[in-house]
């Protein structure tokens, strides 16, 4: 059974970007609900139990049709939010160093160029979805709870939740202000730790 991953900070510790109340709802209600519904879907389809979330999502097309939509939506929601929380920190912000800095600079010339492109793509997401930085430097967006893990893409290093539930409590409809504040809590050390050596 999957469990809601523990946060590495307190729910009131990311106030440069989101309030304690926002995290209580986003983590404690929304992420918890994805977790619970993922477990319910696995209870109903026990032959898929025992796999990692990455394995389930990587092979989503091979899942029986009766279970595929639930695993895609709830499993994607579980995985995407887990990465979202993992790559933020009260001590985040600034610019990356190390491997992530090399990936960004070789693709975008500078951190500013990267941040501008990531922000523009995030603003262009219509409805609910996510923006992603992949290990090859590409920035992609996905709709709903779709995840790069299911789409044959490279390892996702960083993601930003663009569902209204991510910012409506603190910013109402002002997605641009949420994105601007989010850069202050990106945990570049955690992002660097995700880069796979090859």
Which spans of this chain sit near Mn ion (rule: CB under 5 A)?
Answer: 161, 163, 166
Q: Which is nearer to Mn ion, 27 or 118 (CB)?
A: 27
Q: Is 104 helix (H, G, I), strand (E, B) or coil?
A: helix
- Helix %, strand %, coil % of the chain (to 5): 55, 10, 35
Toward Mn ion, which CB reaches closer, 26 or 135? Answer: 26
Closer CB to Mn ion, 114 or 130, in the complex: 130
SS3 (DSSP) at 45: coil
Q: How far apart are CA 66 and CA 143, in angstroms?
A: 21
CB of 124 to Mn ion, least distance (A): 18
Across-strand partners of 73?
none
CB of 198 to Mn ion, least distance (A): 30
Strands (E), the chain: 129-134, 139-143, 156-161
Nearer Cβ to Mn ion, position 14 or 166? 166
Nearer to Mn ion, 79 or 104 (CB): 79
To Mn ion, the closest distance from the beta carbon of 143 in angstroms equals: 13
Q: Which is nearer to Mn ion, 31 or 103 (CB)?
A: 31
Least Å from the CB of residue 113 to Mn ion: 27
Closest by CA to 21, choosing from 193, 167, 191, is 167
How many Cβ atoms from other residues are within 10 Å of residue 101's Cβ? Answer: 15
Q: Name the minimum Å distance from CB 163 to Mn ion.
A: 5
Q: Closest-CB residue for Mn ion? A: 161
Q: What is the spatial distance between Cα 47 and Cα 50, in angstroms, rounded to a whole number?
A: 8
**Other C-beta atoms within 10 Å of 67: how many?**
18
Cα 195 from Cα 158, distance rounded (Å): 10
Rounded to a whole number of angstroms, the minimum distance from the CB of residue 170 to Mn ion is 13
């Amino acid at each position: 059974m999957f469990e809601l991953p523990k946060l590495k900070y307190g729910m009131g510790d990311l106030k440069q970007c989101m309030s304690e109340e926002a995290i209580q709802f986003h983590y404690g209600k929304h992420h918890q609900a994805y977790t619970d519904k993922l477990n319910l879907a696995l209870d109903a389809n026990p032959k898929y139990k025992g796999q990692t979330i990455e394995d389930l999502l990587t092979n989503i097309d091979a899942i029986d049709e009766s279970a595929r939509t639930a695993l895609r939506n709830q499993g994607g929601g579980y995985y995407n939010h887990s990465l979202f929380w993992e790559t933020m920190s009260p001590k985040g912000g600034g610019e990356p160093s190390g491997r992530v800095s090399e990936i960004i600079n070789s693709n975008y010339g500078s951190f500013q160029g990267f941040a501008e492109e990531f922000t523009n793509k995030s603003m262009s997401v219509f409805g609910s979805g996510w923006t992603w930085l992949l290990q090859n430097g590409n920035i992609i967006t996905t709709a709903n709870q779709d995840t790069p893990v299911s789409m044959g893409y490279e390892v996702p290093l960083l993601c930003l939740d663009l569902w209204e539930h991510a910012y409506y409590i603190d910013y109402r409809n002002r997605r641009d202000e949420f994105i601007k504040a989010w850069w202050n809590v990106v945990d570049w050390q955690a992002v660097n730790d995700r880069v796979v050596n090859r």
